[in-house]
A and B are shown apart, each in its own frame.
Chain A
C-alpha cells in the first residue's frame, strides 16, 4: 500500500532554531530541559559538597590517608562514566526504579566527589605558614588568623574544587539523554539520531554555554567570598 509522506526536515539552521521562541517553551522546550539539567546537577553538587568537605577536612586534619588520596583521584578520573551509568540502567529498570534518577545520579556523583575531596584535603593540609606569619606580623589575633586567613584561604581552594566539580557534572550530564532521560542532552541525542547536524551543534552550544555560565558564577562567588586583602595576601604568599 502506497502512502505519501511529507519531506523529512534535516539540518535546521542553528541560529534559526535558537532564536525561535517555540524552541524554548513547552515540555520539550529548552527552558524545560534546562530546568531538568540544572536541578539534577545542583543536587549532585550539593550532596557531593556536604559529604566530601567534612570528610576530607577531618582526614587532612588528622593526617590520614595521604597516599591513597592521589590514587583514588586518578582512579575516579579513569572510570568511564557512560559505562557506569549504562550498567546501572538495566539494574535500575529491573529493580523497578525506572530509568531515572539513580543511574545518572550515581554516575555524576562519582564525577563530583574527587575534585571536591582533593581540593578540600589539599587546602586544609597546605595552609601556607607564610600567609599565617604575614597575618600575624600585620597584627591579626590568633582567632582572626584562623578564621580570616586559614579558613578564608582554604575556602577559596574548596570553592575552586566545587566549581570544577560543578562544571564537570554539567558537561557530562548530557549522557542522561542517551539513557532514557532528557535534559539539555536531548538535542544532541535527537540531532544525532535524526541526522540533524544543526540540532547537534545547537545542543552542544547550549551545554557549553551552561557550563561556562556555571564556571563564571562560581568564580564571581569565589571573588566575592574572599575579601581583597586576604586574596592579595593569598596570591602573594601561596603563589
Chain B
C-alpha cells in the first residue's frame, strides 16, 4: 500500500513533466542571415500596433524577427535594451529624454531632443535611428463645452485634474502646470487615474474636468473633447523613433538601418490616430490592423 502511493506520486510527476514540455511552440526561418531581432512593444494599444507594424515589415523583408509579448513601459523597454533582453524598441523621443537624461532641458523641437538622447542611447549600447514625422504627444484635454482654448486659460477655473501617477511627478506634466513660473494653475482637486480610456470615461462622467492624455487617443474626437493649446511650450517633442541594439545593427549593416528609416519616414500622425481608432473604438486586433496598413502601403 505504501509503495503504491510512492509509485503513483512518481508517475504523476513524470506525467506532468511530459505534458509541460509538450506544450511548446515552433520556430520559423528567414531569408536574410543574421541574429534574431527581438522586438517588444510597450503595453498599450498604440505601442502594440507600432511594434506589429515594424515587426511585420521587417519579417516581410526577410529578417528573422521575434515579436515578443507586449509588456512594461518605457523603463522596461530601455532596461531590456540595456540587459540584452531586447534588440529593437520604438519609443517617443520626449519620453526617452525624461528617462535617460532627467536633468537635461526639455524641448518641443525634435532635433534638439535627439542631440541629447542619441548619445545617451549609445552609452547603453543602442543606436537611435531617424525619428518619424508621426507624433503622439501629451494632450491637456477638457470637455467640449469648456471655455478654455489654451492651457493658460485653465489657471483660475478651479478644475478637478485627473492623470496617471507618472504625471504628478514630471516637470513637463503636473509639476509644470502648477509651477507659477510656467502655467501656475490651481486645481480644486486631483485624481490619479490609470492611463488609458478610463481618463476619457472619467472626463465624460464629470468626475474630472481636465485630464492629461495623449494626442492620438481616438476617444478625444469620438467624445467631442478638446485638446488645449500648449501656449507655454511645456510639452516635449514626442516623435516616435526606433532604437536598435548597436551590435545587431552592425551585424546587418546599412541595409537594416535604411529599411527601418524608410518605414519610419512613412508613418504619419494621422496613421497613429487611425490605428488607435481601429484598435480602441472598433476593437480590432493590433496585428490585423498592422497587416492591413502594411498591405495598403505595399510594404508586405
Contact = CB atoms under 8 A, between A and B. Distances in A.
Answer whether A and B touch in the complex at a CB cut-off of 8 Å. yes
Contacts of B105: 2-5
Contact of B191 (A2, A3, A180, A195): A180
Interface residues of A, number: 28
B18 to A, nearest CB: 26
Give the residue among A3, A4, A8, A186 with the most B Cβ atoms within 10 A. A3
A173 to B, nearest CB: 16
A98 B172 CA distance: 28
Given A2-B112, A98-B207, A178-B194, A190 B102 contact: no
Interface string A176-193: 011110100010011011
A89 B102 contact: no
Interface in A1-59: 1-9
A5 B193 contact: no
B234 interface: yes
Contact of B171 (A8, A182, A195): A8
Contacts of A90: 197-198, 201
A99 B207 contact: yes
A1 B233 CA distance: 6
A182 B193 CA distance: 10
B202 A180 contact: yes
B103 A180 contact: no
Given A93-B201, A93-B207, A190-B168, A2 B192 contact: no
A197 to B, nearest CB: 11
Contact of A3 (B106, B170, B202): B106
Nearest to B102: A8
Contacts of B166: 193-194
A94 interface: yes
Interface in B9-61: none
Contacts of B194: 178-180
Give the residue among B171, B182, B192 with the most A Cβ atoms within 10 A. B192
A186 B164 CA distance: 11
Contacts of A195: 75
Interface residues of B, number: 36
Contact of B198 (A8, A180, A190): A180
B98 interface: yes
A96 interface: yes
A196 B112 CA distance: 28
Contacts of A186: 192
A3 B236 CA distance: 10
B78 to A, nearest CB: 11
Contact of B170 (A1, A8, A182, A189): A8
A182 B205 CA distance: 19
Contact of B205 (A1, A7, A93): A93
Contacts of A178: 194
Contact of B107 (A1, A6, A9, A182): A1
Interface in B148-203: 164-166, 168-172, 175-176, 182, 191-194, 197-198, 201-202
A193 B191 CA distance: 14
A99 B169 contact: no
Contact of B165 (A6, A179, A194): A194
A100 to B, nearest CB: 10
B300 interface: no
B106 A177 contact: no
B108 interface: yes
A195 B98 CA distance: 12
Contacts of B164: 193
Interface in A141-156: none
Nearest to B234: A3
A195 B106 CA distance: 19
A192 B165 CA distance: 8
A177 B165 CA distance: 10
Contacts of B108: 1
Nearest to A178: B194
A194 B165 CA distance: 7
A89 B205 CA distance: 11
B205 A5 contact: no
14 contacts: A1-B232, A2-B105, A3-B105, A3-B106, A5-B105, A5-B106, A5-B172, A8-B170, A89-B198, A99-B191, A99-B202, A194-B168, A194-B169, A195-B75
The 5 closest A-B pairs by CB, nearest first: A193-B165, A1-B233, A5-B171, A93-B205, A8-B102
Interface of B: 75, 98, 102-108, 112, 164-166, 168-172, 175-176, 182, 191-194, 197-198, 201-202, 204-207, 232-234
Given A8-B171, A180-B202, 13 more contacts: A3-B234, A5-B102, A5-B104, A5-B172, A6-B171, A8-B102, A90-B201, A94-B205, A182-B192, A186-B192, A189-B165, A193-B164, A194-B165
